[in-house]
Amino acid sequence: MEPINLDEYEALAATLVRPDQWDYYQGGAADEETLRANRDAFRRIRLRPRVLVDTTTIDTSTTVLGTPVSMPVLAAPVAYHGMAHDDAECATARGVGRAGTLMVASVNSNRTLEEIAAAAGGPLWFQLYLSADLADVEKMIRRAEQAGYGALVLTVDRPVFGRRERDLRNNFRLPAHLRAANFGDATRDLATACVATWQSLDWLVATTRLPVLVKGILTAQDAELAVAHGVSGVVVSNHGGRQLDGVAAGVEALPEVVAAVGGRCEVYCDGGVRRGTDVLKALAFGARAVLVGRPVVWGLAVDGADGVARVFGLLRDELRSALALAGRPGVPDIDRSLVTTVTEAADGRR
């Protein structure tokens, strides 16, 4: 039977991916408190629907940095799709394109950024890290520009690797038949981030003609600095709970980041999105769109490009239903009055 929600895709995918590779995709850092918090945070948010609103027509479409997408749900960068499906990121790109939305391709991919771009049926952004060799980073940037990527997404929360105990226990290595394709014949992760600084971000913004987003922002202070250093967007993210354990969930940090940015750039959020109502909640707190990572891999493992498209289709259908039931006919109709937290509700503040 075909899965009817993302949890069912997860359960089915778990039977299809080798256990150590499944742990790589699913695991978080240390005690995995933040990994769990990403889901739990959405459960503490309550919706406040309006009634007697004409919802005859529901529109989930929006734009991200001016690019039209069918829904405010994008594919987050996830490394090494080849462990989930033989066609790897090319299948993912096809599925995301069929869903009418946007994929952020990881620099740590099993297909080259050029192969992913050739396979894609929709817009792409490219995720990268700043390594110690900026000449090599610049070469990667030029490749992304030439291949037609629409933006660069700099991940800034990995000065060192989080302590991912599942991978340590499994002694995880990239399978022998796969390679870190953007780095030639490498069979290991070569995008080891250096301790980048705000001056490094200045270099990136000055080096590329593409808009730059910064992924890994969790505080108002860093959001304000990112804007001051010329970014076009920030992604509120804790790296899927894989870096510093014990930090806030993305949706928990989202309101302070949105307030700090004050409309000067677009704000995105990832971490724990599994339902259309989660999308609705994040947008009500001010996100332009959300990104999903692990669910994309689940769809890929189950049915390649078709599975990826189906995962996004489920989220779009759930979002359409949630918009109608909340009395919000379209994405522009979503605002902060739609949500309250369990604490706020108990205190009678909203």
Residues known to be catalytic: 239
71 contacts 42 by C-beta, under 8 angstroms? no
Q: Which helix (H) or strand (E) holds 310?
A: helix 294-326
What region, left, alpha or beta, does residue 194 occupy, with left being phi > 0 and alpha being psi -120 to 50 degrees? beta
Q: Which residues pair with 161 in a beta bridge?
A: none
**CB-based burial, 228-266: b 16+ in 10 Å, e otherwise:** ebebbbbbbbbbbbbbbbebbbbbbbbbbbbebbeeebb
C-alpha span between 175 and 183 (Å, rounded): 16
**Total Cβ atoms within 10 A of residue 11:** 12
- Tokens 């779009």: give the residue: 316
302 contacts 295 by C-beta, under 8 angstroms? no
SS (H, E, C) 25-72: HHCCCCCCHHHHHHHHHHHCEEECCCCCCCCCCCECCEEECCEEECCC
End-to-end CA distance of the chain: give it in Å, rounded: 42
